[in-house]
Amino acid sequence: MNFLIRGSLHRHGEGCRTVPLAGHVGFDSLPDQLVNKSVSQGFCFNILCVGETGLGKSTLMDTLFNTKFEGEPATHTQPGVQLRSNTYDLQESNVGLKLTIVSTVGFGDQINKEDSYKPIVEFIDAQFEAYLQEELKIRRVLHAYHDSRIHACLYFIAPTGHSLKSLDLVTMKKLDSKVNIIPIIAKSDAISKSELTKFKIKITSELVSNGVQIYQFPTDDESVAEINGTMNAHLPFAVIGSTEELKIGNKMMKARQYPWGTVQVENEAHCDFVKLREMLIRVNMEDLREQTHSRHYELYRRCKLEEMGFQDTDPDSKPFSLQETYEAKRNEFLGELQKKEEEMRQMFVQRVKEKEAELKEAEKELHEKFDRLKKLHQDEKKKLEDKKKSLDDEVNAFKQRKTAAELLQSQSSQAGGSQTLKRDKEKKNNPWLCTE
């Protein structure tokens, strides 16, 4: 038995030779080793559900994973968009899955929806950032790290039958370079079959004309190329969610019952729920994880490291050492700091000058006011003094007049007294003289 291997000897430009093996070596069990290791470590998968409140996000998750995840229904009165994240340990056969479901709360409920996409973008970036920080640590434990990066974003479209809302287009456009978007038409039992066909075409053309990149199921792996190719043509999947089991024939099935009939969730003639479950979980879960790491995270990491000043090569196409990058960034940072300091100093001096001028102006005004008041006071004082003087003069004149009057009065009374005396004398001499 001959085994052929490609021996890759990357030593100083040596090529690789193909050499035959004389017997069984054992590395053909590598795939099994990998599987066993992965199974024992367990898997992790993170889904983000974006869609307006009440579009059936929680119900669909329960239906997809055949369980009841706890959680209160969200109200429509949230002041902004938030993200609610829950992690669950699931087990199927001997495979463990750490599943994280992140759901938007309050999406589409505000009057102004301009910034609705921001908390979602920030959340996705925060998970990338946490992973990058772990990668950059000196002592990193990536195998034990709980990877919270979003692997699939289910975007819930309302079954209006018209076209996408601008909120949907804007949000998907902001997310498409960060996450694998799988658009789905929610509550598709609310739309007729012919309307649905037209709606799907309309949505696809709107996504294309707005340049929104949605996740395409991969067709490069032969084993899944056919099914994935067919399923790509069915996007966006029209789904129905229900955790209610009804007896149909002699089987219990997940369905929604209406006065006019029953919709079976897992009946492919009724909706695309099975297609979504197959594509998302059974066929492409690993590709979604892989794409997240190799495409979306890689892009985030590249932009972030470039932003931090890291480069692979210098302007002469020579590899940049980490030390040089660090030095260059440090110098750039110090330069910027100095510039900022200088700017602040200049600004401070300018402010002080302005304040000084303001104070001088105020002082001048105060002086002028003081002078004005002083003059006013002096004028007033002079007027009062004049008045006092004229009053004093009047008082003196009055006193003089009074004295003169008194003198006159006393003189006249003296004159009156001497005549009475004369008359008394005459009366004594002549008692018959009548004076009255």
CB-side exposure of 420: number of CA atoms within 13 Å?
6
Binding of ligand GDP at residue 236 (CB under 6 A)? Answer: no
171: Cα separation from own chain's centroid: 14
CB 50 within 8 A of CB 104: yes
The distance of closest approach from Cβ of residue 256 to ligand GDP in the complex, given in angstroms and rounded to an integer, is 6
DSSP 56: S
In terms of DSSP bridges, do strands 95-105 and 43-50 run parallel, antiparallel, or are they unpaired? parallel
The distance of closest approach from Cβ of residue 59 to ligand GDP in the complex, given in angstroms and rounded to an integer, is 3
CA–CA separation, 355 vs 357, rounded Å?
5
The distance of closest approach from Cβ of residue 245 to ligand GDP in the complex, given in angstroms and rounded to an integer, is 14
The distance of closest approach from Cβ of residue 58 to Mg ion in the complex, given in angstroms and rounded to an integer, is 3
Interacting residue with ligand GDP among 44, 47, 48, 55 (CB under 6 A): 55
User: What are the C-alpha distances in Å from 60 to residues 11, 44, 119?
Assistant: 54, 19, 22
Stretch that binds Mg ion, among 30-38, 54-62, 118-126, 302-310 (CB under 5 A): 54-62
Q: Which is nearer to Mg ion, 3 or 69 (CB)?
A: 69
- The entry of ligand GDP, Mg ion, none near residue 189 (CB within 5 to 8 angstroms by kind) is ligand GDP
The distance of closest approach from Cβ of residue 269 to ligand GDP in the complex, given in angstroms and rounded to an integer, is 16
What are the structure tokens assigned to 317, written together?
């196409």
What are the structure tokens assigned to 219, written together?
């067709």
CA–CA separation, 70 vs 62, rounded Å?
9
CA–CA separation, 61 vs 47, rounded Å?
9
211: alpha, beta or left, given left = phi > 0 and alpha = psi -120 to 50?
A: left
**Which residue, among 124, 126, 211, 225, has the nearest Cα to 170 in the 3D structure?**
211
Interacting residue with ligand GDP among 149, 241, 272, 289 (CB under 6 A): 241
CB 45 within 8 A of CB 100: yes
Binding of ligand GDP at residue 171 (CB under 6 A)? Answer: no
The distance of closest approach from Cβ of residue 117 to ligand GDP in the complex, given in angstroms and rounded to an integer, is 17
- 430 CB neighbour count, 10 Å cutoff: 9
Interacting residue with ligand GDP among 109, 189, 272, 287 (CB under 6 A): 189
Binding of ligand GDP at residue 187 (CB under 6 A)? Answer: yes
Interacting residue with ligand GDP among 47, 48, 50, 57 (CB under 6 A): 57
Binding positions for ligand GDP, 58-117, rule CB under 6 A: 58-59, 73-74
CB 101 within 8 A of CB 61: yes
Binding of ligand GDP at residue 291 (CB under 6 A)? Answer: no
**Which residue, among 237, 260, 257, 238, has the nearest Cα to 247 in the 3D structure?**
257
CA–CA separation, 256 vs 338, rounded Å?
68
Binding of Mg ion at residue 188 (CB under 5 A)? Answer: no
Stretch that binds Mg ion, among 1-9, 53-61, 186-194, 205-213 (CB under 5 A): 53-61
- The entry of Mg ion, ligand GDP, none near residue 106 (CB within 5 to 8 angstroms by kind) is none
Binding positions for ligand GDP, 243-282, rule CB under 6 A: 256
DSSP-derived 3-state class of residue 244: coil
Binding of ligand GDP at residue 157 (CB under 6 A)? Answer: no
CA–CA separation, 146 vs 131, rounded Å?
9
Q: Which is nearer to ligand GDP, 54 or 236 (CB)?
A: 54
Interacting residue with ligand GDP among 45, 54, 158, 175 (CB under 6 A): 54
Alpha helices in 269-321 (DSSP H): 273-277, 285-291, 298-307
- The entry of ligand GDP, Mg ion, none near residue 187 (CB within 5 to 8 angstroms by kind) is ligand GDP
The distance of closest approach from Cβ of residue 82 to ligand GDP in the complex, given in angstroms and rounded to an integer, is 13
Size, binding site for Mg ion by CB under 5 A: 1
Q: Which is nearer to ligand GDP, 262 or 412 (CB)?
A: 262
The distance of closest approach from Cβ of residue 73 to ligand GDP in the complex, given in angstroms and rounded to an integer, is 4
**Which residue, among 285, 279, 249, has the nearest Cα to 264 in the 3D structure?**
249
The distance of closest approach from Cβ of residue 109 to ligand GDP in the complex, given in angstroms and rounded to an integer, is 10
CA–CA separation, 113 vs 167, rounded Å?
7
CA–CA separation, 71 vs 53, rounded Å?
14
- The entry of ligand GDP, Mg ion, none near residue 56 (CB within 5 to 8 angstroms by kind) is ligand GDP
Binding of Mg ion at residue 104 (CB under 5 A)? Answer: no
Please give the helix or strand (H or E) that residue 428 lies within, else none. Answer: helix 322-429
Binding of Mg ion at residue 58 (CB under 5 A)? Answer: yes
- The entry of Mg ion, ligand GDP, none near residue 55 (CB within 5 to 8 angstroms by kind) is ligand GDP
CB 281 within 8 A of CB 64: yes
Under the rule (CB under 5 A), what is the footprint of Mg ion? Answer: 58
Residues near ligand GDP (CB under 6 A): 51, 53-59, 73-74, 187, 189-190, 240-241, 256
